[in-house]
Structure 1
Amino acid sequence: MSMNIPRGTQDILPGEVEKWQYIERVARDVCRRFNYKEIRTPIFEHTDLFLRSVGDTTDIVQKEMYTFKDRGDRSLTLRPEGTAAVVRSFVEQKMFGHPSQPTKLYYIGPMFRYERPQAGRYRQFVQFGIEALGSNDPAIDAEVIALAMEVYQSLGLKKLKLVINSLGDKDSRTAHREALIKHFEPQIEEFCGDCKSRLEKNPMRILDCKKDREHELMKSAPSILEYLNVESKIYFEKVQAFLADFGIEYEVDPGLVRGLDYYNHTAFEIMSDAEGFGAITTLCGGGRYNGLAEEIGGPDTPGIGFALSIERLLSALDAEGVILPLEDSIDCYVVALGDQASAKAVSLVQQLRVNGVSAEKDYLDRKVKAQFKAADRLQAKLVGVLGDDELERNVINIKNMDSGLQEEVLLTDFINVVKEKLK
């Protein structure tokens, strides 16, 4: 019996978890500025939700989902991505009826996929994503892309590449689908089993195949851009115009297809151009998914969103040498010498904490020198020094650890003096 951590998961320890907290704070602040509200959905959902929404031709559904039966013999799945659950909640909770539209939501939480673990990729991973539901305006496509770029840039990333494409509307995709079938069918036996099964179900997904990407037919495959109808072309041109107006640089890549079946119109990926980042450069992916809400029982509702991996983001920060401005210190450490002083220090630390001051003391009965070393390790801004003699005189010494200056104050004034010095 193994008691070690499961393969494809990780422990995020103190010293590292502060980076995650900082990233989450930045992401939440960007969402606040763009007027997106947080939503939290269950970690597991009914399996049918992902079969209907993600699509049965995707690698996620075919190979990667963690699916199990509960005691009621119901098939449940640990969520492999966030969009389906958010749209399910949008439909089930009737958010489409709220007066404030479009509905703009974001989420941060763990997702689960059974895939080969590699650098920056885990079987349990954390996604940050947004969904904007209820608008067909190409301006909101540009807004969603701009939000993703703002998160990365706010964290200090500079070597980013934005790639966009249009997957067209239903009519455009139908015409492209027929062209792809005609293109691949004569030589489909030369492709992998996944591609063979996708030929009739969703031939666009053949273009996303990792095994056969060097096949000569891949290079000559008809582009979706050649099959966009007038409406789809105009839509895509408007998205590009808004991005240009925002000052956001981008490349159009006709070969970009999203891995989930519900995408149409705008699709995009943000990649890292940092040297040494790795072979898989994608940081973020998203796109428009009109019709997904209807597919799971709601009204026909246009939507667009993206998801990014926090693990991949951390790898990009490392690749660019970005140091996050983390606050990894405490406000005050109380050094005590003597039994009575040590008992009083417990009370003082508690008073500091309830007054909004981060504080710590020694719990191992260490000597004064060792207590000061502990204060140094915690990067304490101030140290209160209390001995039995000071306690008898109702005073305590406060030392500024940066300047080395020390002053004696009344114990009754200690909390207020500390708060004043921290200002």
Structure 2
Amino acid sequence: MKKFSNTLFFSLIFFISISVSAQTSEEKINSLTQELNNLETKKEQLYQELETFKLAKLREDLKKFGLPKTNDNEEIINHSAMSLVYSEQHEQAKWVAHIILPDIINGKEGRTNDFREDSLVKTGSATEIDYFLKTKKEDGKYEYDGFGYDRGHLAPSADFRWSKKALSESYLYSNMSPQLADFNRGKWGDLEDVLRGYIYSNPSTQLYVVSGPLLNDSLPKIERGVNKVSIPKYYYKVVMDITNKKAIGFIMPNTKIEYPIINFAVSINEVEKATGIDFFYQLDDELEEKIETQNNYKDWVPEKQKNDIPPLYQPDLPKGVYNTIQAKRLMGGNNKVTIAGTVVSAKETRNGHVFLNLDLNYPNHIFTIAIWKQNLVNFSYDPLKTLIHQQIYVKGKITDFDGMPTMVLENEKAIDIQPKEKFIMVIGDED
């Protein structure tokens, strides 16, 4: 009996110790979990505080260097990460200035789509009913009646994806302008991507950007809208990297653009002439003069694109000669055509075939010449060495090679190397 009592006693002690141990572990888990929650809360508070200081620093920098010179009757409207001058006559901004920070590299904020009127515009900004009508149906769903234009961002929302507040403010209607979808979602968006790509390649700098429409009294209006927003025919963007003392401008038509962005690169001086706006006027005069005459698009693109050449302006070419942009329209035809361009890259495959890209390099290439290995004997020169960087006319049928306009050549008679002075490169409207 005594032996049984001892066994029972030690069993109870063991059970109690296990229970106490389990209880202590659970308490420890709860305690550590609470500590982690507190750390997450503190981390979120620090992020918010850091964002506040970054926005304050951004506004200081923008005010110091990034704002254009204003007229006496113009008021600058300042938001968290962008500033603008609003044109009541045209119901959109005359210009919007902002800075692209390296913070976009790790920014994770997504589109908010919270379009809304800008309460800081004293006369009232444009609003939703200036771009489309929205009617609620009996089933609770909405029916939309659009007026034919996107609400195009002047300062793109993706440039603020590091700040929830700044990104949300980019959806204010004071930052919108009526853009054709093919333009807004096409080359205008591509240009925005180029500038963000520049920051990815140069994470130690920041870009000062001013964007806007070319406004004048003769612009048509969105007549169905309440405030009759003007429809710009052209948009501009000026960009400055003050760290590396570089700048460039762009003027692009509000239409579907087939030519690459390089065709629309201009100096800031040219944008100032077109807009009447004095950009980056607070810089030292010598530095301002230096950067505002620059127009080197290759400074702003990845290494692979630095050899790209603007496709030729078709109206300046002889009759019956087409540029590389037009090649896609001629793809699949039965007749031989003549394409003009510059060989920017040449490659020989493992199988011995030769491929030449005209005007734009891979992966943005728009027209390719293919010379199969068995046809290389029909050339008195090495196409790889002789044709690179040469301006040529090439004649043949254009085939569809995995969606790429491609001309297969059998001999050198199809190629006519042109003197460089014969080619005239002009920036102009789309044909």
Which interval holds the TM-score relative to the shorter structure? under 0.3
Q: TM-score, normalised by structure 2?
A: 0.23
Higher relative CO (Cα under 8 Å, sequence separation at least 6) belongs to 1
- Structure with the greater alpha carbon radius of gyration: 2
